[in-house]
């Protein structure tokens, strides 16, 4: 297969301490520990969705766009079968992971409780829900759902409605919402379902609401990949919410790309501006 410009993980050897937490975090088995460092086994095993990002406590893994071998799902399935036969399933967490107990930076415990509990501002006690449909989980919404036709879509990480009190006032009005978790759910399933939704439903725009934690970074990449697979060009806006429940105007910490992206289909690849 010809090489292509696409998203793929990059591992910073200087930051990597070889803890191995990223290995079970990669469902494709694309990462292994060699010589005390995490290594990408082969480019064809990496889907570029970044599910492994949230498992690295040192921030050694990022997703970049560069020339690489195309992702090969058949090769991944063959590799997983070989690992299973050898008793080396990537889903088995290494001993280091069990000793550390918590490897995802987004899972680190924190207490944001203020000295005095928040009280509602005058006139806000009777705020109504802006939800206009059901179901709301990505896995449960069928591509042919009538409420999706011609909709402006809000795709939110599961933690966003809990962390961001302004969701029903600021993000949801005029949009249909779908919820999911890029860390605990299958990113490939999300891509396929969203691809069919974009193909069938004539979606007008997509806003992705995600948390600042690294494990949420994969959500916007899932949406972008689905847009490209569907052969659509549409606005994809990412709104990043802090753990304290505030919109981060500068977007995701460390992100180089701008907050608003436009995905264009160009000979099977996407250009994000």
Per cent of the chain over pLDDT 70 is 77
Do 257 and 176 share a structural domain?
A: yes
**Where a domain ends, among 43, 70, 104?**
104
Residue 208: the pLDDT is 96
Do 100 and 15 share a structural domain?
A: yes
**Could you tell me the pLDDT band of residue 120, with boundaries at 50, 70 and 90?**
low
Q: What is the pTM of this model?
A: 0.64
Domain assignment of residue 24, yes or no? yes
> Which of 152, 247, 134, 237 has its CA nearest to residue 198?
152
Domain assignment of residue 112, yes or no? no
Any idea what the CATH number is for the domain that residue 256 is in? 3.40.50.10640
**What is the tens place of the pLDDT at every residue in 50-78?**
878 767 878 888 888 999 999 998 998 89
> In this predicted structure, which of 23-27, 96-100, 166-170 has the lowest mean pLDDT?
96-100
Distance CA(230)–CA(148), nearest Å, equals: 15
| Total domains present in the chain | 2
Do 175 and 90 share a structural domain?
A: no
Element (H, E) at 266: strand 260-266
Domain assignment of residue 232, yes or no? yes
**Where a domain ends, among 82, 104, 126?**
104
Q: Which residue range(s) make up the domain with 95? A: 4-104
Residue 51 burial (C-beta neighbours within 10 Å; 0-12, 13-18, 19+): buried
Domain assignment of residue 134, yes or no? no
Domain assignment of residue 37, yes or no? yes
Do 156 and 87 share a structural domain?
A: no
**What is the tens place of the pLDDT at every residue in 220-246?**
889 998 999 999 888 789 999 998 999
Domain assignment of residue 96, yes or no? yes
What's the N-to-C CA distance of the chain in angstroms?
27
């Amino acid at each position: 297969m010809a090489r292509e410009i696409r998203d793929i993980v990059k591992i910073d050897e200087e930051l990597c301490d070889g803890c191995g937490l990223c290995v079970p975090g990669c469902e494709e088995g694309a990462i292994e520990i060699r010589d005390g460092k995490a290594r990408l086994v082969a480019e064809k095993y990496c889907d570029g969705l970044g599910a492994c990002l949230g498992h690295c406590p040192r921030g050694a893994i990022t997703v970049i766009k560069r020339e690489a071998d195309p992702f090969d799902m058949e090769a991944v399935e063959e590799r997983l079968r070989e690992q299973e036969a050898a008793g080396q399933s990537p889903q088995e967490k290494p001993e280091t992971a069990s000793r550390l107990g918590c490897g995802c930076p987004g899972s680190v415990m924190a207490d944001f409780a203020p000295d005095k509990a928040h009280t509602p501002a005058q006139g806000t006690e009777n705020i109504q829900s802006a939800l206009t449909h059901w179901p709301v989980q990505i896995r449960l919404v069928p591509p042919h759902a009538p409420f999706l036709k011609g909709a402006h879509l809000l795709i939110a990480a599961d933690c966003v409605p809990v962390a961001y009190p302004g969701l029903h006032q600021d993000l949801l009005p005029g949009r249909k919402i779908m919820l999911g978790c890029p860390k605990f759910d299958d990113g490939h399933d999300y891509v396929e379902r969203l691809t069919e939704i974009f193909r069938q439903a004539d979606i007008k725009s997509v806003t992705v609401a995600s948390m600042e934690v690294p494990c949420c970074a994969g959500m916007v990449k899932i949406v972008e990949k689905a847009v490209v697979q569907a052969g659509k060009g549409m606005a994809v806006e990412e709104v990043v919410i802090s753990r304290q429940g505030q919109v981060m105007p500068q977007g995701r910490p460390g992100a180089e790309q701008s907050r608003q992206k436009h995905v264009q289909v160009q000979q099977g690849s996407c250009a994000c501006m």
